[in-house]
Amino acid sequence: MSFKSKLAALAALACALALPLAARAQAASPGEGVFNTRCKACHEPAIERAPNRATLATLPPATIVEALTNGVMKPMAEGLSPADKQAVADYLTAAARPAQAAQGRAPAAAAVGVDVKCQVNPPIRPTGSDWASVGLETAHRFQASPGLKAADVPKLKVKWAFAMAGGSMPTVIGDWLFITNRSGKFYALDPASGCVRWVVEGAVSRTTPMIVKSDISPSGWATFIGERNRTVRAFDAQTGKALWRSAELESNPVAGITGTPLVFGDRLFVPLTSSEEGAAHQPTYSCCSFRGSLAALDLKTGKTLWQTYVIAEPLHPTHKNSAGTMMQGPAGGAIWSAPTINARRGLVYVATGDSYTEVDTKGADAIVAMDVRTGKIRWSNQVTDKDNFIVGCTDAVKPANCPSPDGPDYDFGASPILFKLPPKKGEKGGKEVLLAGQKSGVVYGMDPDTGRTLWTTKVGGGSALGGIEWGMAADGQRLYVANADTINLIDEELRPKGKSPLAQQQPPATPGLYALDPATGKVLWKTPAPVAPCRYAADRSRDRTGGACVRAQSAAPSAIPGVVFSGTMDGWFRAYDAASGKILWADSTTARTYDTVNQVKGQPGGSLDGMGAAIAGGRVFVMSGFNGAAGTGGNGVNVLLAYSVDGR
């Protein structure tokens, strides 16, 4: 599993209990004692992907408490009382408040804002310019009727901004915008102004809301989200009233839902992921048991109709580690992106992540096709075997649970795209190809009937942070691939200074946007990510990068006729000519602060990492400041930016 699925870069925070408990008694505060005994060994200095102390200080206290209570840190917080969790959260964030005050900025905790309600809420009415899911059933991320022309793109300006912690990509239906976030508020907003139509409290989610017209809801419109605690919830999209909540789809406490549940017919297809590769850092953890799966739920009730695990080999004990803990396997194959439906074939396609153990499995790093009615696996194409990975195994001192051999962590994180090729001369209809992008930097074209690999194209050096990580986009002619090479960039910056955290020099970084021919994989054009200035909030997250802005192109691109939108981790949002790759427009989301609709003053922007843009009704919506796994450019609190022509 990629650590993109780990909440607010808090994944991999397997805080070792290595320090003596006496440290708590010697601490100046209860929170400091908890930090010293439970967290310091992993965060000061930070191991591998864990955020360091300074980065933790930028988070709202509620985010830290939520991670310890219901998030990826729950297994590591076992035995802590609610008071302990609040104490450590207050201790960590208090350290940053004097600096924030000196800079004239509100502390991160204040950025929850005030929900300004809309005066009138009209009925939901669909238009021809809606963005109703993560890219519809074929996951193209293409808006055919955006409500703006290519000639309008250079005139885009921010119309409004809305601050929230860990916001997802929104969906838009007519005069309604829906968005989840990890602070637990599920919002329906007015896309024209950002005022709040309704809000549901206590819905901790990072999935893009799925909106469908359905008679299961009194208003005729329903919305579905997956929660971090492994449940799915359904609401009336007009009112926010709850319709049903599923049972927990997994018992493993580090399992969760990060990919958007997808509606097809009378069923909701839910991908299951986990952060077990972070929890496995602890020598007392019996690594590992999680298996990625896809669950089909009844749309009316949320009842599970079938659940298919991508790892078919039986789980069994293997050996004891150096700490005397019994290991087990196989495990892994997390599905942390949305599934893709093929209605004509009756198939649902999923992309899986890496293996957590050295026990061989065919279910990891694979594209898998399942029957939509029964869940039976029709075919599976594993492209990388023995990609066995848990957090910390690249450290000088390896955790006791490291698999042998170690893998490169080359998950599939992007949803597969089902692409219809233009018909050749004499053909009645074009053939189809299934397109998949991996963190190795390799793009695959596969036969959607059999899974057979038709072609491969390598666009990046590849790393545990991509390569291709969050998604791709396609119009009727080209496939658009954003390549990150995040770790490669960091290694290039730090290795000459003798500060690279990696033992091995990484392949050359080639971040940028690429256009490929879907039929052959041929690169039609490539535009390198420009070297550009950024202003991360207080530059707190540059410690890992030697002070450099990271131009990794990790976020999923989105397309309209003639234009592709794509963001970079240095906070730049750009529009590219779809035919040539020429940059048509660029905006630095970190060059200014925002006074938001929900009354947060001076909210900074930050990294564009993960969530791509949603485009609807003449507006372009993108999340800036994502607190991503790279630990760079995130603010803890994000800002949803709404662009329109001339800011109108």
pLDDT of residue 544: 67
Q: What is the pLDDT of residues 503-537, one digit of tens each?
A: 788 899 999 999 999 999 999 999 999 999 998 87
**CA 418, CA 448: separation in Å to the nearest integer?**
8
- Would 114 be classed as within a structural domain? no
Q: What is the pLDDT of residues 1-46, one digit of tens each?
A: 333 333 333 333 333 333 333 333 456 688 888 888 777 766 765 5
Residues 206, 166: contact at Cβ < 8 Å? yes
Amino acid at 615: I
What does the block give as tokens for 314? Answer: 């039986």
**CA 434, CA 448: separation in Å to the nearest integer?**
5
Identify the CATH number of the domain in which residue 413 sits: 2.140.10.10
- Would 66 be classed as within a structural domain? yes
Residues 588, 143: contact at Cβ < 8 Å? no
Q: Give pTM, 2 decimals.
A: 0.90
**CA 333, CA 355: separation in Å to the nearest integer?**
6
Listed residue (268, 244, 266, 248) closest to 256, CA to CA: 248
Strand order in the sheet with 638-645: 156-164, 638-645, 619-624, 614-616
Strand, coil or helix: what is 22? helix
Which helix (H) or strand (E) element contains residue 158?
strand 156-164
Residues 163, 600: contact at Cβ < 8 Å? yes
Listed residue (165, 111, 191, 116) closest to 602, CA to CA: 111
- Would 178 be classed as within a structural domain? yes
- Would 120 be classed as within a structural domain? no
Listed residue (424, 519, 449, 418) closest to 477, CA to CA: 519
**CA 562, CA 639: separation in Å to the nearest integer?**
27
Listed residue (308, 309, 313) closest to 291, CA to CA: 309
**CA 91, CA 307: separation in Å to the nearest integer?**
42
Amino acid at 263: V
Strand 603-604, strand 593-594: pairing: antiparallel
Strand, coil or helix: what is 82? helix
pLDDT of residue 148: 95
Amino acid at 231: T
Q: How many CB atoms lie within 10 A of CB 344?
A: 9
- Would 154 be classed as within a structural domain? yes
Q: What's the structural domain count of the chain?
A: 1
Helix, strand, coil percent content, the chain, rounded in steps of 5 = 15, 30, 55
Query: Residue with structure tokens 């209570």?
Result: 69
Give me the residues of the chain with pLDDT under 70, please.
Answer: 1-28, 41-42, 44-52, 54-55, 58-60, 63, 70-72, 74-75, 95-112, 134-138, 396, 538-544, 627-629
pLDDT of residue 191: 98
- Would 405 be classed as within a structural domain? yes
What does the block give as tokens for 178? Answer: 């829906």
Q: Using CA of residue 321, residue 324, residue 325, residue 330, what is the dihedral sign?
A: positive
Q: Which residues pair with 436 in a beta bridge?
A: 444
What does the block give as tokens for 241? Answer: 């009233």
Q: What is the pLDDT of residues 538-579, one digit of tens each?
A: 555 565 677 788 999 999 999 999 999 999 999 999 999 999
- Would 115 be classed as within a structural domain? no
Strand order in the sheet with 558-560: 558-560, 563-567, 572-577, 583-588
563-567-573-579 Cα dihedral, nearest 10 degrees: -20
- DSSP-derived letter for residue 576 is E
**CA 447, CA 190: separation in Å to the nearest integer?**
41
pLDDT of residue 218: 98
Query: What is the span of the domain harbouring residue 89?
Result: 3-108+131-645
What does the block give as tokens for 426? Answer: 């004499």
- Would 126 be classed as within a structural domain? no
